Chain A
Amino acid sequence: MRSIDAGYLVLAAILFSIGAFGLLVRRNPLVMLMCVELMLNAVNLTFVAFGMMLGDLAGQVTVLFVLVVAAAEVVVGLGIVVAMARRRPGATADDIRVLRG
């Protein structure tokens, strides 16, 4: 394994954890959605890096599927956010917690 390969994996791990941290800490649903994208991008990076190390194309093909999933997730997520914001102007705050208790 080349040292740069390890670099890709470490970068992806850090990117993933930044996304995870942001998703747990931020309360704006749109920013949460962006954090999900960060996490998925970290996974994509990992897939391509492993594919390169293994000399295998499957990693790249998998990333294509992850892209489709990411796009579909964004559509659903934005749909729900918009539906909620219509009921409650300024609902980008932490109204998810209304249910808690």
Chain B
Amino acid sequence: MTAVSMFAQTPLLTEQIVAPVVSWPAMIPLAVMALGGLLLLTFASLLGRRVGTPFFTWWTVMTGLIAFATAIPLWAQVQGWDRRVLWWNPENTPAGAFSTVGGAFGVDGFSVLLTMLICLAVPVCALVMAGTSERDGERHVEGPALMILSATGAIVMAGANDLIVLFLGLEVLSLAVYVLAAMNLRRVQSQEAGLKYFVLGAFSSAFFLYGIALVYGGTGSTSLVNITNFLAGNLLLGSSSVLVLLGVALMVAGLAFKVAAVPFHSWSPDVYDGAPTSSVAFMASVVKVAAFAGMVRVLVVGFGTFAADWRPVLQILAVLSLVGGALVALVQTNVKRLLAYSSISHAGFILLGVEAANETGNRAVLVYLVVYTFLVIGSFAVVSIVGRSGDAMHSLDSYRGLGRVAPALAGTFTILLLAQAGVPFTSGFYAKFYAVIAAVDTQSAWLAVVAMLSAVIAAYLYLRLVVAMWFVAPGEQTPKPGIRIPATTGVALVLCVAVTLFIGITPGPLTSVVDEAPPAVVQPPAAQGSELPADLLNLLDGGAGQESLTTDPGSLPSTSGGNP
């Protein structure tokens, strides 16, 4: 190889640069979020003291809702609905899942559905945050802005078709959340939580990235399209699969950290405890949604051919999270830590769905994510109110006799807790139901038994809290009667309870939508006017050209369908 100095006069490539084909409609939800965050910061700094928390909240809610609305036509496109819903010329993009920007970003049922979920979760989190800011007399624009930008990263992760894009999405998501965790300058615990989250988060990101590097060595590309093509065309056996297996293992470790699966969970109780409660609501919902989306994209879609290798690992993680989360939660006396452990246990249930790696598993993952998002935001909204001014009162004693002091608040919390326990007629029941079905479906009945046992343990935990609220006399730390529920937090609570009860009573709409949302990785369309030599033009070799290669997770037969 002849070394070429950077400064030497070398012949320049004379060919035209061919930009990759971009499907702009697919970019709109992302662009709305990114621009929404930037404009919010701009307006806040231009208008100064003339605007406050109400404006920031209004803006965040509108950004989320507009991004949600712009994702609906994408859903129509993917599902091949009547073209009148679409506002662009659909001739270029045939109905069905597609990928864009040179195959870097995929638009399929899975990614669009999760994009919509994230876009809805942001406004609800913003309402909760507005409540605490108003109560504590804070006026900061950074919280809502960081939430919007972080959600941009989450959307990128949901649609990432390239491991590098996935990693960048993960970093956008995580860096913003580190700041959200450390943002409460009044409590030093908040900075400690942020620092702890940051250090361990950077640690896990490095593992994830090392995994990408090894996979790159093993498959020759970081693009999921190329990886699936390569793995479909080459049988990797024995020593030639070493790099891929190691890489996948490291990526699983990195993602398991983000979803806080045991034994990668040690940060989550501390961080949940120290971070501002309204940030925790975001952290527990959107971050988990994005991390599970990334996990599904990497494992189920990208490395589905290695399922026999990664499934046992996920089974172990799931069992440890299910049992460990529920058991350790029993001895907690701090409600935020208790909810942190319970969310570890929830992560175990979602892992059951990922582990199944088929249609049933996909349904389990998506139903659980939708249900859990609203449950956890609602629960932390209640915690943020009971934590009172300064966000410091989170011991179990603060909840004693809450039913007598603030019946509405306690009633709301009771519904959300019962739903987390999986009581029938709440959304949590169906979430757990589908997760267990997914385990049974893949002939891992023992996993289903473990899941149900852990659900029983966790039920005791939630009931303990419910009993403390309704059947115990108020104590010293219980809020005084007439504790103020900020209007915005109230709205968020009503929304969360409404979603919980609606899904619990009529799960049909959700499951029918979820069943139309399989993850896929699709060959990007060929760039037009490709005058570049083949070796510089990229991506599109590997074979298929216009023909699309769809990888659905559906290798295993599905035994359950429809609604129970």
Contacts and interface: CB of A to CB of B under 8 A. Distances in A.
Do A and B truly interact?
yes
A66 B222 CA distance: 14
A46 B220 contact: no
Interface string A75-90: 0110111011001100
B195 A96 contact: yes
B307 interface: no
Nearest to B183: A83
Given A36-B206, A43-B206, A54 B220 contact: yes
Contacts of A29: 195, 199
Contacts of B203: 20, 23-24, 36, 39
A76 B216 contact: no
Contacts of A65: 164, 167-168
B193 interface: yes
Given A88-B188, A99-B270, A80 B210 contact: no
Contacts of A32: 199
B213 A47 contact: yes
B196 A76 contact: no
Given A39-B206, A98-B189, A99-B273, A80 B194 contact: yes
A51 B220 CA distance: 8
Interface stretch (B174-182, B315-323, B494-502, B549-557): B174-182
A77 B179 CA distance: 9
B214 interface: yes
Given A72-B175, A77-B198, A87 B206 contact: no
A73 B202 contact: yes
Contact of B217 (A36, A54, A66): A54
A73 B171 contact: yes
A20 B220 CA distance: 26
Interface residues of B, number: 36
B213 A50 contact: yes
B340 to A, nearest CB: 12
A56 B191 contact: no
Given A39-B210, A65-B164, A76-B198, A58 B216 contact: yes
A81 B527 CA distance: 47
Given A80-B182, A83-B185, A98 B192 contact: yes
B188 A81 contact: no
A46 B214 contact: yes
B210 A16 contact: yes
Interface in A1-32: 9, 16, 19-20, 23-24, 29, 32
Interface in B147-204: 164, 167-168, 171, 175, 178-179, 182, 185, 188-189, 191-196, 198-199, 202-203
15 contacts: A16-B206, A36-B199, A40-B209, A43-B210, A50-B213, A51-B216, A54-B217, A58-B216, A62-B164, A69-B168, A79-B179, A87-B191, A96-B192, A96-B199, A99-B196
Given A73-B175, A80-B195, A83-B182, 19 more contacts: A24-B203, A32-B199, A36-B199, A36-B203, A46-B214, A51-B216, A58-B216, A62-B222, A65-B164, A65-B167, A72-B171, A73-B202, A76-B179, A77-B195, A79-B179, A87-B188, A96-B195, A99-B189, A99-B196
Interface of A: 9, 16, 19-20, 23-24, 29, 32-33, 36, 39-40, 42-43, 46-47, 50-51, 53-54, 56, 58-59, 62, 65-66, 69, 72-73, 76-77, 79-81, 83-84, 87-88, 95-96, 98-100
